[in-house]
């Protein structure tokens, strides 16, 4: 979803209402602004980081395991 906003003289940007509703953003909420070089990202700060990160480190897919499997497939194909 891409929405356009206009930058004010003070550098303010209005986050469109549909996006605020989607992410539950309201007046006074804080966001992180991250500069990725050619892209600026606005990330809502968690109101309860402990609750929201519960289960984050449980099992599931392992990036290392996935990478090792991909490398094995590449070696089998002679890459």
What residue spans define the domains of the chain? 1-54
Q: Output phi, psi for 14, to 5 deg.
A: -90, 125
Nearest CA to 20 out of 12, 11, 32, 29 is that of 29
Residue 25 confidence (pLDDT): 92
Residue 76 or 54, more confident: 76
Assign 21 a pLDDT band (cuts: 50, 70, 90): very high
Residue 1, pLDDT score: 67
Is 1-54 in CATH node 2.30.30.90?
Answer: no
């Amino acid at each position: 979803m891409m929405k356009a906003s206009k930058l004010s003289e003070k550098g303010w940007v209005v986050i469109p209402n549909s996006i605020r509703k989607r992410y539950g953003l309201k007046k006074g909420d804080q966001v992180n602004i991250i500069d990725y070089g050619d892209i600026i990202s606005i990330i809502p700060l968690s109101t309860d980081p402990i609750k929201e990160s519960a289960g984050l480190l449980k099992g599931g897919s392992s990036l290392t395991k996935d990478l090792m499997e991909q490398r094995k497939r590449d070696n089998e194909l002679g890459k």
